[in-house]
Chains A and B, each alone.
Chain A
Amino acid sequence: MNAGRNLGPVSQVPFGEGRAFGVDGEQVAVFRLRDGSLRALSAVCPHKGGPIADGTIDQDVVLCPLHQNAFRLDTGCSTTGAEPLTSYDVQIDNHQNIILRISAR
């Protein structure tokens, strides 16, 4: 499935934070970096099911709030030895909406 899903205005996600979305049965955490670009990862930490969207981020990684496991925002790979998160293709369209492609990259 290649058509992107429109998740609504990007303003739902504050700069430097993440918000969770349910998309086609997947839970996706969408992050808006401080530079304005978006990243999307699966929203449930593979370690103990922590809410990834509640994590603290920088330009590179998100820290799960439960046990501070770190995951790369672009690939979902963990830098702390946890299993990886799925990463999703996410864009902002011309109307400032979040467009998410659920087919995993």
Chain B
Amino acid sequence: MTATLGNRQRGPLPKGKVPQGKVPQGKPNARRRLVVIGNGMAGARAVEEILARGGAEQFTITMFGDEPYGNYNRIMLSHVLSGEESDADIFLNSLHWYQDNNITLHAGVRVERIDRFTKYVFANNGHVVPYDVLIIATGSQSFMPPMDGLYTPSGSIKPGVFTFRTIDDTRNMVQHARNGDDPDRERRAVVIGGGLLGLEAARGLQSHGIDVDVVHSGGHLMNAQMGPDGGAILRRSVEALGIRVHTGSRTTAVLGTDKVTGVRLRDQPDIGCDMVVVAAGIRPNVDLAVLSGLHVERAIVVDDQLRVVDEDDIYAVGECVQHRGEVYGLVAPLWEQAVVLADHVTGSDTSSAYLGSRIATKLKVAGVEVASMGLHGPERDTDEHIVFSEPSRGVFKSIVIRDNKMVGATLLGDSRKVAYLTQAFDKGLPLPEERIALMFDLGGPAEEQGVAELDDDAQVCNCNGVSKKSLVDVVKGGCNTVAGAMDATRAGKGCGSCKLLVKQVVEWAADGAVEEDPAASYYVPGIPLDKPSLMAAIRKQGLRSVSSVFAALAPGRAEDAKSKMGLASLMKMMLADQYIDERDARFINDRVHANIQRDGTFSVVPQMKGGVTSVQQLRRIADVAEKHSIPLIKLTGGQRIDLLGVPKEDLPQVWADLDMPSGYAYGKSFRTVKTCVGKDFCRYGTGDSTKLGIEIESRFQGIEAPAKLKLAVSGCPRNCAESLVKDVGVVAVEGGRWEIYVGGAAGAHIRKGDLLATVEDPEEVKVLTGRFMQYYRENANWLERTYSFVPRVGIDRIRAVVVDDAEGLAAGLDAAMQASVDSYVDPWTERDDPLTPGQFRTSLPLTVLPQVPVR
């Protein structure tokens, strides 16, 4: 517990008011009362951050919101205006969220006064609520520039004049745009303000078939975000959309008596219109703070902890805040503030400090990509200014460099380099000698590099403050769909301009294994968990059998046939001899230790380590094949002898007659090690591949894996055992050393394995082989062969884990593999003592077997 802001002695109650939510006296652990004034993006985000830090246990939370709704994403209002989103789509938290988190919400209620001394807030509906901690998040309102004719004689805003701040504003505009009173009326709108919001409004109105003029008092559009050159190009792009732009002009009057008929401009002719949208900036809502005696300058003044100056228990956050002289009107600083505020309010990190935000905006304005940060142009003689301008395509790039640091950039119409530039701006990274590389990707896979070169804490989504690392973390946590990562982090849920970058980051993090289906991340279809979560849940709950996993983790506790084999394999791998082996969870091959064939008979492969056999073995196999009339005897690709067409009920007798261990040609498991002749006989052999292959097979025989494992050891680079296309392939090279390749394949897919390591002696080969296979067993998806797994994870990362032990996992991997090796039992020993009744009973009693033609 940290230093709390405790329950002070409360003063006398104001007369005639009954306080709500009194804390029971004398309860030592009574939760403190947190009141939040403001239910917009800042207030709600602050509460979310507080809840994320265990705030629900510390506080009873009451929120007041001026608007009669849950909270919504104000940034998306332009999409609602344009009809791209419905107004229901932009809600961040519905009213249910408040209930679920035990938050008392007074929606549509305005707080009129704070009594800092008795610690009560007074609402306009008569509510008087005590607080221990108060958060002010009153936000901003639209600024109404002075002009004549805004109001009707009765004092209300003239019909047809709109501000563009709230969801109600937006709905009213949509309604007005859709159904004018008079179908013949001139459908023309004037937007006052050529900043971001004004241009968005203009574009949104256009989508309703309205003719739009933008009147802007500045010399060029978006003058807060860019210099005149960029502004000129932006103007071209906006005008190309069919929006008329009037810069350097003020609206002096709204014309019309009872409703809007036009606007009067300074130094320019009147414009006739039936609709005026005022988007001329915002002003912080500070009336409540001023009235309540808080310290207000341009906005409510806070310190680095977001505490209102001179107040112990009052915090403020968002657009109503002035911090170190800055007032922000963008969403990114608000996220940063909410984090620091929550750290302090909950006491989870009292060293947390907000030091201000460097404003880098990345937006899509009226369909034009705009990114802007820092200076718009050079200020000193020594500043470098690099400009690229291509008006016909609407592309403009300007970068300002001071002392070899980037101090400003504007990008229009092409934001591919924005991630890198944002980072260079935030971090003061050293810049490339060739400045042009700042603006363009010169060769190379541009986007890949762009994402790869981003820092972990580089912000990908500015609207919701999502860093590259947050995205990468959810991907590493098994979320490998773009939509899933966006849901989990909220990246791309703001203005949407970062969606491409989000997608790139997710794809990069997932190494291309991006799926479109959330279920694709489940390890088995019947349990909605990815592999790490599934393994963690199994460990945490001490589950030891497949049925117990269904009972504990499956929706509706329902078994799922399709999931059983994968779960059985996973749990055997995890638990070794602690696994409770339920036979019904096994696939038929694993129930009877043989490979089912198309006619329901089975094939039997005796163990023949490294593909080396003997007279005795050959003679015995021949005798068994003769005695049981084996219809087909076949040499396999893995250098084994396969006896095909054995009826199920004959299996125990065939094994008994063979009296050899199983060769594992039927499971999702370690199968065979193929070897070449090695060096005893071969003229070229440099290493004893045969001996090493036999040793590897002896050690790892039969261990289960997410998919089959086929290995090889070659005694020289001629690679007669095809080591380069095996799940694990070993090659002896000159100097007594051994190369280990992983992730090779030459079946349905052809892939040359990646070189994992070159080692000095066979013992090391065995250690790394086992460690790699264990890493694969623990991290691969069910049925994912190494030829998919290795490129998905990346050989560099695998090498870091397996060879360099960069993550300290090696000892654990080795121990887990050793446990599997130690618990190995040859399955063919079950022949004398069937584990289940009728284990080898035929399933096709009336069919003459085999049905496969005998050659």
A binds B: yes
Task: Give A residues with C-beta under 8 Å from B.
Answer: 11-22, 25, 27, 29, 34, 43-44, 48-63, 65-66, 68, 70
Q: Check if A51 sits within 8 Å of B583, measured CB to CB.
A: no
Which residue in chain A gives the minimum CB-CB distance to B554? Answer: A58
If the complex has contacts A21-B845, A56-B565, are A14 and B836 also in contact, measured as CB distance less than 8 A? yes
Determine if A17 and B583 form an interchain contact, defined as CB atoms under 8 angstroms apart: yes
A12 and B836 CA atoms in complex are apart in Å by 9
Question: Which A residue's beta carbon lies closest to that of B556?
Answer: A59
Is residue B558 contacting chain A, with contact meaning CB distance below 8 A? yes
Chain A minimum-CB-distance residue to B564? A56
Contact of B596 among A21, A34, A54, A70 (CB under 8 A): A54
Which residues of B, 694-719, contact A by the 8 Å Cβ criterion? Answer: none
Is B146 part of the binding interface, using a Cβ–Cβ cutoff of 8 Å? Answer: no
Residues of A within 8 A of B588 (CB): 51, 54-56, 65
User: Could you say which of A25, A55, A56 has the most chain B C-beta atoms within 10 Å of its C-beta?
Assistant: A56
Shortest B600–chain A CB gap in Å is: 4
Q: Quick one: given A34-B559, A66-B596, are A16 and B582 in contact (CB under 8 Å)?
A: yes
Known A-B contacts A34-B547, A48-B598; the reply to A56 vs B844 at CB < 8 A is no
What B residues does A51 contact at CB under 8 A?
588, 596, 600, 843-844
The reply on B560 being an interface residue by CB < 8 A is yes
* B16 at the A interface (CB under 8 A): no
User: Does residue B298 face the partner (Cβ distance < 8 Å to A)?
Assistant: no
| B:545-586 near A, CB below 8 Å | 547, 558-562, 564-565, 582-586
- Cβ distance B341 to chain A, nearest Cβ, rounded Å: 50
B592 nearest in chain A by CB position: A54
Q: Are A50 and B584 closer than 8 Å at their CB atoms?
A: no
As a 0/1 sequence over residues 135 to 165 of chain B, the CB contacts with chain A under 8 angstroms (1 = contact) are: 0000000000000000000000000000000
The 5 closest A-B pairs by CB, nearest first: A16-B584, A51-B843, A58-B559, A53-B843, A54-B588
**A-side contacts of B561, CB under 8 Å:** 55-58, 61-63, 70
**CB-defined contacts of B836 to chain A, threshold 8 Å:** 14, 17
**Is residue B17 within 8 Å, beta carbon to beta carbon, of the partner chain?**
no
Residue of B nearest to A20 (CB): B843
* 23 A-B pairs in the complex with CB atoms less than 8 angstroms apart: A14-B838, A16-B547, A16-B583, A20-B842, A20-B845, A21-B845, A27-B844, A27-B845, A27-B846, A27-B847, A29-B843, A50-B600, A54-B588, A56-B562, A56-B565, A56-B586, A56-B588, A57-B584, A58-B526, A58-B561, A58-B564, A65-B596, A70-B561
Query: Does B797 count as interface, using CB distance less than 8 angstroms?
Result: no
Smallest beta-carbon distance A36→chain B, Å: 13
Q: Which residues of chain B come closer than 8 Å to A53, judged between CB atoms?
A: 843
In the bound assembly, the distance between CA atoms of A62 and B847 in angstroms comes to: 21
Residue of B nearest to A22 (CB): B845
Q: B853 near A: Cβ within 8 Å?
A: no
Name the contact of B843 in the complex, choosing from A15, A54, A60, A61 (C-beta under 8 A): A54
Contact assessment for A11 and B845 in the assembled complex, using a CB-CB cutoff below 8 Å: no
Q: Is B427 an interface residue (CB 8 A)?
A: no
- Interface check B69, CB cutoff 8 A: no
In the assembly, what is the distance between CA of A18 and CA of B845, in Å? 13
How distant is the Cα of A58 from the Cα of B547 in the complex, in angstroms? Answer: 10
> In this assembly, does B789 line the interface, its C-beta being within 8 Å of a C-beta of chain A?
no
Q: Which residues of A contact B851 (CB under 8 A)?
A: 49
B184-243 contacts to A, CB under 8 A, are none
CB distance from B852 to the nearest CB of A (A): 12
A73 to B565, CA, bound (A): 19
Choose among A13, A27, A34, A50 the residue that contacts B838 (Cβ–Cβ < 8 A). A13
A55-B561, A56-B562 given; name 16 further pairs at CB < 8 Å: A13-B838, A14-B584, A14-B837, A20-B845, A29-B843, A34-B584, A43-B845, A51-B844, A54-B591, A54-B648, A58-B558, A58-B560, A58-B561, A59-B559, A62-B561, A70-B562
Chain B residues closer than 8 Å to A21, beta-carbon distance:
845
Which residues of chain A are near B838, meaning CB under 8 Å? Answer: 12-14, 19
Number of A-B contacts (CB under 8 A): 99
Interface flag for B587 (CB, 8 Å): yes
B596, A11: Cβ atoms closer than 8 Å: no
Task: Note all chain B residues with C-beta closer than 8 A to A14.
Answer: 583-584, 836-838
Determine whether the beta carbon of B587 is less than 8 Å from that of A56.
yes
Nearest CB in chain A to that of B550: its residue: A58
Using A14-B583, A54-B596, A66-B596 as known contacts, say yes or no to A20 and B837 having CB atoms under 8 A apart: no
Is B598 a contact of A66 with CB atoms below 8 Å? Answer: yes
In chain B, what residue has the closest Cβ to A56? B561
Query: How far, in angstroms, from A89 to B153 measured CA to CA in the complex?
Result: 85
* CA A29 to CA B261, docked complex, whole Å: 83
Residues of B within 8 A of A63 (CB): 561-562
- Report chain B residues within 8 Å CB of A19: 838, 841, 843
A9 to chain B, nearest CB (A): 9
Is B599 an interface residue when CB atoms closer than 8 A count as contact?
yes
Tell me, rounded to whole Å, the shortest Cβ–Cβ distance linking A59 to chain B.
6
Query: CA of A19 to CA of B585 in the docked complex: distance in angstroms?
Result: 15
With a cutoff of 8 Å between Cβ atoms, the chain A residues found around residue B584 in the complex are: 14-17, 34, 56-57
A20, A22, A58, A66: most-surrounded residue (chain B CB, <10 A) = A58
Bound complex: CA of A16 vs CA of B561, how far in Å? 10
B561, B583, B851: residue with the most chain A Cβ atoms closer than 10 Å: B561
A20 touches B844 (CB 8 A): yes
Q: Given the complex of chains A and B, what is the CA–CA distance between A59 and B564 in angstroms?
A: 12
Shortest beta-carbon distance from B680 to chain A in Å: 43
In the complex, what residues of A have CB within 8 A of residue B526's CB? 58
Minimum CB–CB distance from B689 to chain A (whole Å) comes to 37
| Smallest CB gap from A58: residue in B | B559
A58 to chain B: which residues have CB within 8 Å?
Answer: 526, 558-561, 564
Looking at the assembled complex, report how far the CB atom of A14 sits from the nearest CB atom of chain B, in whole angstroms. 4
Point out the residues of chain B lying under 8 angstroms from A61, CB to CB: 561
Q: How far is the CA of A70 from the CA of B562 in the complex (A)?
A: 9
Complex-state Cα separation, A45 to B559, whole angstroms: 22
A65 to B844, CA, bound (A): 13
Instruction: Select from chain B the residue with minimum beta-carbon distance to A11.
Output: B837
In the bound assembly, the distance between CA atoms of A103 and B821 in angstroms comes to 52
Docked pose: A17 CA to B426 CA in angstroms: 63
How many angstroms between the C-alpha atoms of A21 and B836 in the bound complex? 17
Question: How near does chain A come to B165, taking the closest CB pair, in angstroms?
Answer: 53
**Closest partner residue, chain B, to A29 (CB atom):** B843
The CA-CA distance from A34 to B836 in the complex, in Å, is 15
Give Cα A27–Cα B837 distance, bound, in whole angstroms: 19
Residue numbers in B under 8 Å from A66 (CB-CB):
596, 598
| Residue with the greatest number of chain B CB neighbours at <10 A, chosen from A19, A51, A57 | A51
In the complex, the chain B residue whose C-beta lies closest to that of A18 is B843
User: Considering only CB atoms, which chain A residue lies closest to B835 in the complex?
Assistant: A14
- C-alpha spacing A34/B546, complex, angstroms: 12
Contacts of A52 in B (CB 8 A): 843
The CB with the most chain B CB atoms within 10 A, among A11, A17, A57, A65, is that of: A17
Contact, CB under 8 Å: A16 / B596:
no
Given the complex of chains A and B, what is the CA–CA distance between A61 and B562 in angstroms? 10
- Given A56-B561, A57-B561, A63-B561: A43 and B843 within 8 A (CB)? yes
Q: Which residues of A contact B587 (CB under 8 A)?
A: 56, 65
A48 and chain B: residue at smallest CB distance: B598
Bound Cα distance from A84 to B399, whole angstroms: 69
